[in-house]
Amino acid sequence: MKIGIDKIGFYTPHLYVDMNKLAVARDVEPEKFTIGIGQSQMAIAPITQDPISLAANAALQIIDEEDKAKIDLVIFGTESGIDHSKSGAVYVHQLLGLRSEARAMEIKQACYGATAAIQLAKGHIALHPESRVLVLGSDIARYGLRTGGEATQGAGAVALVISANPSVMVLEDESAYFTSDIMDFWRPVYSETAYVDGKFSNEQYIHFFAKVWEQYKEKTGLQLADYEAICFHLPYTKMGFKALKTILEEASEKEQERLLTNYKTSTLYNRNVGNIYTGSLYLSLLSLLEQKEDLQEGARFGMYSYGSGAVGEFFSGILQPGYREHLFVAEHAAQFQARKEVSVAEYEAIFQESLPTDGSTVELDISQDPATICLAGISDHQRNYVNKQQ
């Protein structure tokens, strides 16, 4: 049975900071951020957006009545969840008006969460071919002002409908994965920001890539030349390039050129959004699918997922005939177009705004947030969301 991505949507908050200006403010050469790290703009989440609202906004764009009738499983991948107990999936399920006869859960393994969700979704569809699964990858990446990781923050969500006979991409059955207990990046439950050993994390990302790539080739007999492109989890766009470079020589010069050109296209959205953690790989895939117009049906894409801590996975997908008609290219272009730049001082002020943690009530002004679904406040220890369409 063919199972894979039927639809793919994306949402990022309407505010961003220019990385050249952030560099100047931090007394760093702008080229370090724009070339060395490979980021041009960084999405900033206002206080009226959290991982739940971001995910709901991403899904709202792609879900139609048929999806609503068929989705019986919602899996929310995140590493910036809002509750230790209740899953983000239940909130999104309600905000989208999905049917009650559904399972809903949250899944966590750093930036690997959405990939784990997709693999579980595939198993569910294999048993229930008529059903559809909504997979969400949503995060706000926070390292802190003036920290080493500051230039690799971001915010956004990806939503995917996984189904049988998918319109966009069939995910091939074979997959290669690797787990090892390492401390390259983590966020203790008491901390608002992540702890990261950036250099070690880079090294491990590449090490895990080598492990799963070799394992995958052994399992499948596929070679680098069989790929139109390889998409990577991108905490920042230079990262995937470092991993790709380690295997490029396995291909001919012409193939290397193709892989490098496609890699560049696959990083366009990420370059202007920043790190969105678990949705990052799928944002990269989306960037390539939407920004390269002449991709051939039947083309194979490799996908490298990495979640610190750490789990790595490599798998592949085959582009389906007519895939482009099922993308939301114009909607995503309009979303980027409508974003508003904030100054570094404004970004710092937004970053420092926080929700109460002592149980007090707060009402938020959602009039300045153009998103359809917003966080409107907190009362009785509960977050209150508003869907402006309802």
Binding residues vs ligand COA (CB under 6 A): 29, 31-32, 35-37, 148-149, 151-152, 185, 196, 198, 201, 205, 235-236, 306, 308
At closest approach, how far in Å is the CB of 31 from ligand COA? Answer: 3
Residue 37 vs 371, nearer CB to ligand COA: 37
- Number of helices followed by number of strands (H, E) in the chain: 13, 17
In whole angstroms, give the CA distance from residue 202 to residue 184.
9
Contact in structure between 10 and 57 (CB atoms under 8 Å): no
Residue 13 vs 149, nearer CB to ligand COA: 149
Nearest 5°: phi and psi at 284? -65, -45
Q: Minimal CA–CA distance to 71: which of 119, 135, 9?
A: 135
At closest approach, how far in Å is the CB of 36 from ligand COA? Answer: 2
Which is the catalytic residue, given 14, 106, 111, 313? 111
Identity (one letter) of the amino acid at 255?
E
At closest approach, how far in Å is the CB of 146 from ligand COA? Answer: 11
Residue 66 CB coordination number (10 Å): 10
Residue 149 vs 317, nearer CB to ligand COA: 149
At closest approach, how far in Å is the CB of 149 from ligand COA? Answer: 4
Residue 154 vs 317, nearer CB to ligand COA: 154
SS3 71: strand
In whole angstroms, give the CA distance from residue 193 to residue 276.
14
Give yes or no: 233 in active site: yes
At closest approach, how far in Å is the CB of 198 from ligand COA? Answer: 2
Give yes or no: 111 in active site: yes
* DSSP-assigned states of every residue in 165-183: S-SSEEEEEEEEEEE----
Residue 48 vs 138, nearer CB to ligand COA: 138
Which is the catalytic residue, given 93, 124, 233, 326? 233
Give the distance, in angstroms, between the CA of residue 72 and the centroid of all CA atoms in the same chain: 22
Give yes or no: 84 in active site: no
Enzyme catalytic residues: 79, 111, 233
